């Protein structure tokens, strides 16, 4: 596998900018949209290559420009579902993989002033909210019942009844972004009221395609049940069930599973030695394995934060 990550990330970005300039000079609505959709497909096809990159600094710098490019294209083709799904995915990956790690580092290790941390968290919430909105727009456009059905968990089953396996991507990125937005908004009753909706969306993804995005719905549900007290829907037995299913789907080298097992299960059990051993394995194996390169690099970075915060997590 080539290691020249600079060429992989920067050169495609230049190609997209050139393509955008060409797009804007094409006269007539239909040719413009045709070119936008060709470019969108090219970006979509390039995603697997991006997720083989382990240079987190480079990917973090590249993603905002790619997001802005896609949003510029969306202005000229506002009903392009593929574009909206790419934006939902890019916002989710950028927020989860990079911004949330900096928020956790600032919070757990007190590495930034409180005002700066608060501002960064607001940005993180905005990214998750925008990602959820883009995915929701796709579902509402495809299924009219989802306009009402995705407002609250009580009406979600009407929306789910219309959805098909082709909707898994939109459902997953809606639930992923919404759920993480809720997690960052624990002091907002309005946001917390959406937690059950996010959980139900991910449960529906599991019924349609449990393996989508490396079993990501099972990872989400594992974290959902493990990170909450029982009075707010937490359940370690349910969390452990989703963890085992996730491992059966991905094997033992999908390190985000170990990362969040250590983060949410082990402090509750006061298993400090296992916590440290598990996270040290994440850091060690991420640099050795070719499986899930980008996501494992993200896991290793966050594992280092948790290891440095061990005294606080086990106080």
Residue 2 reports pLDDT greater than 70: no
Residue 25 reports pLDDT greater than 50: no
**pLDDT computed for residue 26 by the predictor:** 44
What does the H/E/C string look like for 1-51?
A: CCCCHHHHHHHHHHHHHHHHHHHHHCCCHHHHHHHHHHHHHHHHHHHHHHC
**pLDDT computed for residue 45 by the predictor:** 84
Mean pLDDT of 280-297: 93
pTM of the shown model: 0.89
**pLDDT computed for residue 39 by the predictor:** 82
Mean pLDDT of 178-188: 93
Residue 22 reports pLDDT greater than 50: no
- Cα separation of 292 and 51, whole Å? 7
Segment among 7-16, 30-39, 51-60, 247-256 with least mean pLDDT: 7-16
What secondary structure letter does DSSP report for 166?
G
| Tokens describing residue 36 | 């936008």
| Confidence bin at 19 (pLDDT 50/70/90) | low
- In sequence order, which residues have a C-beta less than 8 Å from that of residue 124 and are 6 or more positions away? 95, 99, 100, 103, 184
Q: At what angle do helices 114-142 and 168-183 cross, to 10 degrees?
A: 150
The separation between the first and the last C-alpha atoms of the chain, rounded to the nearest angstrom, is 43
- Residue linked to tokens 């306009």: 147
- Cα separation of 159 and 149, whole Å? 5
| Confidence bin at 230 (pLDDT 50/70/90) | confident
* 3-class SS of residue 199: helix
CA distances in angstroms from 199 to 116, 129, 160, 221, listed in the order given: 31, 16, 13, 7
- Cα separation of 231 and 40, whole Å? 44
Q: What is the DSSP string of 54-70?
A: --HHHHHHHHHHHHHHH
pLDDT digits (tens, 9 = 90+) for 143-177: 999 999 999 888 999 999 999 999 999 999 999 99
- Cα separation of 217 and 224, whole Å? 10
| Confidence bin at 32 (pLDDT 50/70/90) | confident
Contact status, residue 63 vs residue 98, Cβ threshold 8 Å: yes
Q: Between 126 and 38, where is the model more confident?
A: 126
| Tokens describing residue 297 | 């690099």
Segment among 187-191, 194-198, 202-206 with least mean pLDDT: 187-191
| Confidence bin at 5 (pLDDT 50/70/90) | very low
Residue 15 reports pLDDT greater than 50: no
- Cα separation of 226 and 257, whole Å? 12
| Tokens describing residue 144 | 């009219």
């Amino acid at each position: 596998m080539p290691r020249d990550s600079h060429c992989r990330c920067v050169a495609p970005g230049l190609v997209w900018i050139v393509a955008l300039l060409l797009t804007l000079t094409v006269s007539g609505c239909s040719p413009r949209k045709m070119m936008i959709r060709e470019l969108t497909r090219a970006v979509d096809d390039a995603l697997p290559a991006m997720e083989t990159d382990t240079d987190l600094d480079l990917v973090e710098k590249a993603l905002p420009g790619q997001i802005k490019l896609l949003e510029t294209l969306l202005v000229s083709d506002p009903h392009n579902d593929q574009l909206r799904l790419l934006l939902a995915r890019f916002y989710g990956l950028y927020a989860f993989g990079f911004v949330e790690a900096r928020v956790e580092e600032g919070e757990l290790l007190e590495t930034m002033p409180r005002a700066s941390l608060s501002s960064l968290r607001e940005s993180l919430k905005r990214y998750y909210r925008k990602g959820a909105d883009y995915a929701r727009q796709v579902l509402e456009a495809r299924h009219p019942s989802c306009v009402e059905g995705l407002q609250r968990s009580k009406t979600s089953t009407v929306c789910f009844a219309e959805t098909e396996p082709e909707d898994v991507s939109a459902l997953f990125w809606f639930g992923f972004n919404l759920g993480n937005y809720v997690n960052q908004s624990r002091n907002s009753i309005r946001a917390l009221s959406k937690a059950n909706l996010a959980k139900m969306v991910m449960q529906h993804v599991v019924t349609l395609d449990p393996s989508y995005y490396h079993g990501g719905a099972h990872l989400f549900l594992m974290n959902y049940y493990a990170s909450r007290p029982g009075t707010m829907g937490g359940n370690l037995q349910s969390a452990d069930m989703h963890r085992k299913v996730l491992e059966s789907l991905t094997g033992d080298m999908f390190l985000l599973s170990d990362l969040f097992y250590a983060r949410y299960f082990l402090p509750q059990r006061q298993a400090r030695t296992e916590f440290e051993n598990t996270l040290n394995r994440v850091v060690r194996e991420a640099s050795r394995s070719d499986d899930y390169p980008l996501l494992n690099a993200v896991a290793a970075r966050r594992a280092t934060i948790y290891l440095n915060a061990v005294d606080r997590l086990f106080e």
